[in-house]
Each structure stands twice: as C-alpha cells, then as structure tokens.
Amino acid sequence: MNNDRLINEAKRCFQCKNPRCVNSCPINTPIPQIIKLFEENKIEEAGEILFNNNPLSVICSIVCPHEKQCIGNCIRGIKDEPVDFPKIEFFISDLYLKNIKFDNPNKLNKKVAIVGSGPSGITLAFILAQKGYDITIFEEKSSIGGVLRYGIPSFRLSRDILDIIEEKLISLDVKIRYNTLIGPVISIDKLLEDNYDAVFIGTGLWSPKPLNIKGETKGNVYYAIDYLKSPRSYNLGEKVIVIGAGNVAMDTARTAKYYGAKEVTVVYRRGFEDMTATQTEINHCIDEGVKFELFKSPVEILDEGVVFIDTKKLDNNLVNIEGTNKLIKADSILIAVSQIPKNDILSNAKDLEVDKHGLLITDELGNTTKKGVFASGDIVTGPKTVVLAVANTKIVANTIDDYLKNIL
C-alpha cells in the first residue's frame, strides 16, 4: 500500500474504547493510539512507541498470525473488511528502524552473555543494551536472526531487515561472536567463570522431530528445518511431498515451488480445520499451486515416494482405515512435523533441568534451575510465535535487570 492508501485505511479504524485488537495481541500493541498518531503524521512518535513495546515490531507486522490476533478481532471486520493494521505497522516500524539513532546509555559494569540471536536473543539484547549493560551475543551461524533468517523464506521476510537490526545492535556496542556454538567447547559454566554476570539462553529449536517410520533415512528424505536454512543447495526434483500442517510446512512447500519443483503436495493426517498453519499461509500455498492431500498418515518411505494410509475421525479420535495403503510418488520428501531442542548446551551444563520434552525448565520470570542463568522463547515453551517469544523475553529482561542490580 502507498501512503495515501494507508491513511485511508487508518481512517477506517473505529478507535474503540475497549479495543479487541489490543486485547488479542500477545504483546498488547496499542493499536488505536498508533493509528491515531499515524493519521496525525506523527510517524516518529508512533515508531518509538511500537519499538519500545516490541523491538521486533517490524518483523511481527509481517510474520504474526494476524488473522488470529489484531485483524481477526477487529470490530470493523464483523460486517466489513477489518482494518489492515499490519500494513500500517510495517510502514511505521520499517521507517523508524532505518532512521533510529540510539543515545549512548551510561555504561554499567555488568556483563551479559546471550546464547542465540533469534527473536528472544535480539529482543533481550536491545532492551539490556539500552540500559547500559555490556552484551555479547554468541551465535552458532555466520549471521544473526536464528529462525527469522534460517527458518522463514526470504520472500516472506527480507534479509535486509535483519541486516539493519544487526547494524542497530552493533551501534549499541553489542558484541557478536559468530560461528560459536555454546556447549561442546565453550560451556555455560565457562561463561560464568569468565565473569559474565548473567547468561541468557534463547537458542530455539533446531533439531527436527522425526516421523519414526521405515525409510526415513533414505537419500531423498529431508527435514524441513534443515532444508529452509539453505534451499538453494538441494536438488529436490520435480515432484515433492511435504508432510506436516504448520507454518513451517507451508513455508517449505512454497519454497520448494519457488526453487523450481513442478509439483508440490502437502500431506496431512487430518483436515484443513485442524491445521496449525494460518489460513493466510494455506491460501498462499493454494494460490501458488501447492496441492493438498488430507486424512492420510505416512506408513513407510520408499525410493519412489511415500506409502500413506487413509485416516478418519471417530469420536474425536483419529483412526487408520485398514486396507487403504497407497503410494504417492515423489522425487523428494520433506518432513515438517515439529522441532525439538538440540542438546549441545544442556549436555555440557551442570544444574540446568529440562522437562520430558527436553525443554528448559524456568519459572514464570525466566529463571532456570541454575543461578544466574535465564531463558525464554521456544527452548522453554516449545514452538510458538515470534511475538510470544518477544512478550516472554520482555518479562525475562526485567528479571535479569533486577538480578544484576542486586548482585555485588
């Protein structure tokens, strides 16, 4: 949308006294206030409010499941089209991020190590660096962003945004150690021994969850979370099957199409109504020619494709229909059923407790079971949205700030 169309869109807002859009936003973005400021051409003021509330506002304006949050709860949308706030938010936040120049805060003699530079790590770095803490980010890969860079296709989220975020962090004197995996060589205990006053773990979930069926190790089978890191390096062939039903599965299917696969089919054991992917992402797939095969569960992977069995719902349970096994041919199979934590950090750290799923155990404030170590994001909650990771990390930022103020 151009600026005139955005202004017209902003004027459609009813400025509700009890805005459902705000109440449905996990980070309580003050949407009517932002829209009003935008109408009044107070772009910088609106941008500052958005950034202070959510340092990843510009990213959330793109990747949030808006249909379940602001757009899906807009009162105008009951009888008309809802106000397209994400477009307004992107315009304001993108401009603000590009132009912001941070004031140099008073430096505090306290050091914080941030493990991982995904949504949680970036959020924490912005908040604590602006308070004056000495921040070092430890990133396993060669660029920051985590799932934002290596799990979301570039046609959905421009890498230019992440590069600008990196520039802004460096302008706040945040140090970034690239290609540094915490765990095998540098452990959490080593960070604490080297006089980091607090350590934050925000590594996300980078190990794929397997299907645990026969044939999963064949050479034409790949895990979606690995594929999305570098799709150009894969030769998938013409026919591709994607097994899964979340946004990762939709991103994977669209990416496979984008990089040349002629026929991409998403296969799911339930129906459209049960998919965890947003309707917007499903619609994008349909618009781009991705096919869907529903109520089919994988039984075995063969060189020439996947054998599926038909399923049906019975008293709210899913059951297989015996005798319906059928091969769907494919050159490559991409598995996108979920992710689980890598154990590099945890296997080399003392006193860090995890639950039965391998997720870090914390209290509601982000304290782990090890003193001076905190955590947030998917490594704590399991796979969730970017905006929820930011919201939870804001709480942990206050916890770390309080902790650092009270240690000698």
373-394 pLDDT per residue, tens: 999 999 999 999 999 999 999 9
- Contact present, 228 and 157 (Cβ < 8 Å): no
Apex 246 CA angle, 256 and 282, nearest 5 = 70
By residue count, the chain amounts to 408
Measuring CA to CA, how many Å separate 308 from each of 104, 260, 265, 302, 321?
Answer: 59, 25, 13, 11, 11
Q: Kindly indicate the confidence band of residue 1, based on its pLDDT and cuts at 50, 70 and 90.
A: low
- Contact present, 180 and 96 (Cβ < 8 Å): no
Q: Which domain holds residue 166?
A: 111-206+341-405
Per-residue pLDDT for 356 more than 70?
Answer: yes
Torsion of Cα atoms, 91 then 92 then 94 then 98, to 10°: 130
CATH number (domain holding residue 14) = 1.10.1060.10
Going by C-beta distance under 8 Å and a sequence separation of 6 or more, which residues neighbour residue 258? Answer: 153, 155, 231
The per-residue pLDDT for 357 is: 87
Residues 141 and 242 in one domain: no
Residue ending a domain, among 68, 99, 130, is 99
Residues 345 and 328 in one domain: no
Residues 202 and 345 in one domain: yes
Residues 21 and 86 in one domain: yes
CATH number (domain holding residue 365) = 3.50.50.60
Per-residue pLDDT for 226 more than 90?
Answer: yes
Residues 263 and 371 in one domain: no
Per-residue pLDDT for 165 more than 80?
Answer: yes
Apex 251 CA angle, 250 and 252, nearest 5 = 90
Residue 84 domain-assigned (yes or no): yes
Query: Tens of pLDDT along 187-211?
Result: 999 999 999 999 999 998 888 999 9
Residues 149 and 202 in one domain: yes
Residue 106 domain-assigned (yes or no): no
Residue 143 domain-assigned (yes or no): yes
Residue ending a domain, among 291, 313, 338, is 338
- Contact present, 133 and 404 (Cβ < 8 Å): yes
Residue 365 domain-assigned (yes or no): yes
Q: Kindly indicate the confidence band of residue 73, based on its pLDDT and cuts at 50, 70 and 90.
A: very high
DSSP letters of 239-275? Answer: EEEEE--SHHHHHHHHHHHHTT-SEEEEEESS-GGG-
Strand partners, 317: 314
Nearest CA to 172 out of 114, 128, 236, 220 is that of 128
Residue 104 domain-assigned (yes or no): no
Residues 198 and 218 in one domain: no
The per-residue pLDDT for 104 is: 79
Residue 105 domain-assigned (yes or no): no
How many CB atoms within 10 Å of residue 226?
A: 16
Residues 323 and 355 in one domain: no
**What's this model's pTM, rounded to 2 decimal places?**
0.94
Ranges 18-27, 83-92, 97-106, 228-237: which has the least confidence: 97-106
- Contact present, 84 and 31 (Cβ < 8 Å): no
Domain count, the chain: 3
Residues 73 and 147 in one domain: no
Residue 34 domain-assigned (yes or no): yes
Strand partners, 242: 266, 334
Query: What are the tokens at 187?
Result: 């452990």
Residue 230 domain-assigned (yes or no): yes
Whole-angstrom distance, CA of residue 350 vs CA of residue 347: 8
Whole-angstrom distance, CA of residue 382 vs CA of residue 234: 28
Residues 57 and 132 in one domain: no
Going by C-beta distance under 8 Å and a sequence separation of 6 or more, which residues neighbour residue 25? Answer: 31, 69, 70, 387
Q: Kindly indicate the confidence band of residue 262, based on its pLDDT and cuts at 50, 70 and 90.
A: very high
Residues 245 and 330 in one domain: yes
Query: Tens of pLDDT along 228-250?
Result: 999 999 999 999 999 999 999 99
b/e string for 365-403 if b means 16 or more Cβ within 10 A? Answer: ebbbebebbbbbbbbbbbbbbbbbbbbbbbebbebbbeb
Per-residue pLDDT for 408 more than 70?
Answer: no
Per-residue pLDDT for 131 more than 80?
Answer: yes
Residue ending a domain, among 45, 65, 99, is 99
Which percentage of the chain shows pLDDT scores above 90?
90
Going by C-beta distance under 8 Å and a sequence separation of 6 or more, which residues neighbour residue 117? Answer: 125, 137, 139, 144, 145, 146, 176
Residues 304 and 214 in one domain: yes
Ranges 71-75, 264-268, 404-408: which has the least confidence: 404-408
Measuring CA to CA, how many Å separate 261 from each of 154, 174, 252, 265, 379?
Answer: 17, 41, 11, 10, 33
Query: What are the tokens at 367?
Result: 């304290």
- Contact present, 213 and 193 (Cβ < 8 Å): no
